[in-house]
Structure 1
Amino acid sequence: MYSRIAGTGSYLPERILSNAELATRVDTSDEWIASRTGIRQRHIAADGQTTSDMALIAANRAIEAAGIDKSEIDLIIVATTTPDNVFPSTACILQDKLELHGFPAFDVQAVCAGFIYALATADNFVKGGSAKCALVIGAETLSNITDWNDRGTCILFGDGAGAVVLKASEEPGILQTRLHADGRYRHILKTEGRMKAGGLDGSPYIYMEGNAVFKFAVRALADVAEETLAAAGMQQSQVDWLVPHQANLRIIESTAKHLGLPMDQVIVTVDKHGNTSAASIPLALDEGVRSGRIQRGQTLLLEGIGGGFAWGSALLKY
C-alpha cells in the first residue's frame, strides 16, 4: 500500500509587497534583493487574516482537485511555525472550520522543513493503515514574526498556504522519505520569544545568521537528496522535477547542479512568493501541477531545510 497525492491546492494573500516598496522602508533596493536571493515580491496576509484562514482556502482547493468529498478525510496535519494560538492546534481549528470532527488533527513544527515532516508522518499513517485520506498542509503568517526594520530578514519572508490530499493507493505514490535534525545549530536561525506570566519573554522576531544558514543548507540538501534516491534504488537522471523549499535562488541552483538537473526541471516560485517556510514546497508543487508542467506518472523530489536545523526530502510518483 502506498500513499499517493490525489490533489493539490494553494492560497496567497491578495496584498503584494514588492522589493521597490520595501526599499522605501529600509536601506535596500530591488537589484540588491533580487541579485542575492532571487526574490522580487512576497504576499502579506490582511489584518485579521490567520494561518488557519489561509489553510482553509488551500485545503478546499486541494479537496476539489482530488475530487473527493471532505467527509472522506480521516487525518489532518498542519505544518506551521506561526499557529493561530499557543493552543489549540491550527489543525484542530482547521478541522472545525471544515466542519469535520472525530479523527486525529495536529500540528507539526519543523519550520521550513515542516511540510516534508508532515508529509512523511501522513505517509506512515496511511501505509500503516491508520488513515486512508489525509489532508496535509503547510501554512504560515511569517509577517507576524518579521522585523520590518531589519533589512537582513524582512526582505526574505512572505505569507501563504499550500495543501495536498494524500490517499491510500495500490499505485506507487510516496516512494521514500528521509528526515533529519541537528539541534546543535538551533541558535543560527530562530525566533525565541515565548509567553511568560502574561507577557512576552525574548524577541518575537526571526533571527538568522545568513551565511551560516546558506553553507549548511547547501550541504544538507545535497546529502539528503542522494540518501533518498539511494534508498529508493534510483538515479538522479530518473527525477523529472525538483520541488525545493523556496528560500534562496542560489541554494536552489546549487541543489539542482548537484543533482545534475537543469533549472528547467526545477519548480521555482521564490521570485513571486519569497520564503513562506512550511508553505513554500506545497505552494511550488501546486503551481507546478496547475501550470501543467508536473504530469501524472512523473517522479518528483521534494526537499527543504529550516531552523533547528531540521531538514528532509520526499521522493514520489505523482
Structure 2
Amino acid sequence: MVTRAIVRGVGHYLPARVVENAEFEKSLDTSDEWIRTRSGIERRHFAAEGETTSEMAIKAARAALDDAGLGPDDVDAIVLATSTADFTFPSAATMVQAGLGMTRGFAFDVQAVCAGFVFAMANANAMIATGQARRILVIGAETFSRIMDWEDRGTCVLFGDGAGAVLLEAGEGQGSADDRGILSVDLHSDGRHRDILYVDGGTSTGTTGYLRMLGKEVFRHAVEKLADTAHAALDKAGLTGADVDWLVPHQANLRIIKATAQRLHLPMERVIVTVQDHGNTSAASIPLALSVGKAEGRIRPGDLVVTEAIGGGLAWGSVVLRW
C-alpha cells in the first residue's frame, strides 16, 4: 500500500467587478476583436479597491472546505501559490491561516508565478506522502491587476484576478495508475530565460514594478515545454495521452492551450477552458478551472486529470492525478 494525496474538495472565488474587452478600447489602441483573436480572452475580473490576495484566497479556501464538508480545524497545512502577496512578509498563507481561524499546523507561500499551483501541489503531495501532514489546502491566488502597466496593450489586457483552492487528503492506494489522487509530478525551471517574463520591481529597485513580457518568446517556450512536461508526467505514471479524461491547463492563452492539446493528441472537448471568462489569473488559473470543471459536472470521480503550467523564471511543470 502507498499513501496518495487525494482531492477531497475544491472551490474558487472571483471578484465582483467584471471587465469586458471593450472597456480597454476607451484608453488603448486595441479592440475586442484584437484581444479575442490573440488570446481567446473575452472578459476578466478585477479586485475591488482594498481587496487583497489573502482575502480572495480565504474565500476560495472556505469554498473548498465546504465542498469537502470539513472545517479549518481539520486542516494540517496551507500551501499558497502567489506572486502578488499582500506584503513582502509575512506570507499570504499565514494570513489565510489566521483568516480561516486555523490555530494549528503550518502555512507558507510558493512563488513560481503562473506555474505556482503545480509547484504547490508537488510540495503538498510530498508532505502527504511522507506523513508530515494528512490534509493540506493548496491555494492559488493573484491580484495581477496591481502590477499592470495600463499603457502596455500587449500585457494589461491579458490578466485577471481571482483565487482557487484544492483540499488534498491522505488516502491509501495500491501503487498503481488506477489509484485515486496524485499519481506523478514533473517540475522544471531555467533561469536563463528570466528576461522574457518578469516584473521590473522589487528590493533591487525599491518599487513594486510592472509586468514585462516578450509575448512571442513566451508562446514559443510554452507550447514546447508544456507538451513535454505533460508527456513526462504521464510516462512517470505509466500512462499515455489516450488515458487522459481531462487536460486542465494553465489558462494563459487559447492558442497555447489548443497547441498543447494537439501535441497531446487530445480533442478540445477533453480540455477545460476558462480563459475566455477569467483571463490569465496566473497561479489561480488551474485550481479555478478545476473548480469550474467540477461545478459544471464535467470532472467526476475516477477521471484522469492532467494539469500543466509555465510561468516566469522560466518555471514549468505538470501533475497527473485521478479525481
1:164 alignment counterpart: 166
1:230 is the counterpart of 2:215: no
Cα distance in 2, alignment partners of residues 65 and 275 from structure 1: 25
TM-score (norm 1): 0.97
2:176 alignment counterpart: none
1:184 alignment counterpart: 192
2:53 alignment counterpart: 51
Question: In the alignment, which of 56, 74, 78 is matched to residue 80 of structure 2?
Answer: 78
1:309 alignment counterpart: 314
- Tell me how far 1:209 sits from its aligned partner: 0.2
Write out per-residue CA displacement over residues 167-216 of structure 1, whole angstroms, 9 at most, x where no aligned residue. Answer: 001142100011100000011100031146xxx53671000000000000
Aligned length: 315
Cα distance in 2, alignment partners of residues 101 and 293 from structure 1: 35
Q: 2:110, 2:116 within 8 Å by CA — same for their partners in 1?
A: yes
The secondary structure found in structure 2 opposite 1:84 is: coil
Look up the equivalent residue of 1:96 and give its one-letter code: A
The secondary structure found in structure 2 opposite 1:272 is: helix
CA RMSD of aligned residues (A): 1.0
Cα distance in 2, alignment partners of residues 280 and 33 from structure 1: 19
Look up the equivalent residue of 2:198 and give its one-letter code: K
2:16 alignment counterpart: 14
Question: In the alignment, which of 248, 266, 274 is matched to residue 261 of structure 1?
Answer: 266
The secondary structure found in structure 2 opposite 1:154 is: coil
The secondary structure found in structure 2 opposite 1:201 is: coil
For residues 53 and 202 of structure 1, do their structure 2 counterparts lie closer, same or farther at Cα, with a shift above 3 Å needed?
closer
- Tell me how far 1:9 sits from its aligned partner: 0.3
Question: In the alignment, which of 92, 95, 99 is matched to residue 93 of structure 1?
Answer: 95
Cα distance in 2, alignment partners of residues 73 and 264 from structure 1: 35
1:148 is the counterpart of 2:156: no
For residues 150 and 74 of structure 1, do their structure 2 counterparts lie closer, same or farther at Cα, with a shift above 3 Å needed?
same
Look up the equivalent residue of 1:69 and give its one-letter code: G
2:37 alignment counterpart: 35
Look up the equivalent residue of 2:249 and give its one-letter code: P
1:278 is the counterpart of 2:276: no
- Tell me how far 1:102 sits from its aligned partner: 3.3
The secondary structure found in structure 1 opposite 2:84 is: coil
2:303 alignment counterpart: 298
The secondary structure found in structure 2 opposite 1:293 is: coil
- Tell me how far 1:300 sits from its aligned partner: 0.1
Cα distance in 1, alignment partners of residues 252 and 139 from structure 2: 18
1:251 is the counterpart of 2:256: yes
Write out per-residue CA displacement over residues 43-75 of structure 1, whole angstroms, 9 at most, x where no aligned residue. Answer: 000000000010011000000001112211001
Write out per-residue CA displacement over residues 211-249 of structure 1, whole angstroms, 9 at most, x where no aligned residue. Answer: 000000100001101111111111110000000000000
Look up the equivalent residue of 1:221 and give its one-letter code: L
Q: 2:248, 2:271 within 8 Å by CA — same for their partners in 1?
A: yes
1:204 alignment counterpart: 209
The secondary structure found in structure 2 opposite 1:186 is: helix
Cα distance in 1, alignment partners of residues 283 and 143 from structure 2: 10
Q: 2:160, 2:281 within 8 Å by CA — same for their partners in 1?
A: yes
Look up the equivalent residue of 1:228 and give its one-letter code: A
Cα distance in 1, alignment partners of residues 121 and 230 from structure 2: 16
Cα distance in 1, alignment partners of residues 206 and 99 from structure 2: 31
Cα distance in 2, alignment partners of residues 101 and 283 from structure 1: 26
Cα distance in 1, alignment partners of residues 115 and 170 from structure 2: 23
Structure 1 residue runs of 4+, over 6 Å off? Answer: none
Question: In the alignment, which of 167, 181, 188 is matched to residue 173 of structure 1?
Answer: 181
2:246 alignment counterpart: 241
2:293 alignment counterpart: 288
Q: 2:147, 2:208 within 8 Å by CA — same for their partners in 1?
A: no
Look up the equivalent residue of 1:179 and give its one-letter code: L
Identity between Structure 1 and Structure 2 (%)? 54
Write out per-residue CA displacement over residues 117-137 of structure 1, whole angstroms, 9 at most, x where no aligned residue. Answer: 000100000000000000000
Write out per-residue CA displacement over residues 21-40 of structure 1, whole angstroms, 9 at most, x where no aligned residue. Answer: 11111100000000010000
Cα distance in 2, alignment partners of residues 202 and 215 from structure 1: 30
Cα distance in 1, alignment partners of residues 242 and 105 from structure 2: 40
Cα distance in 1, alignment partners of residues 319 and 230 from structure 2: 9
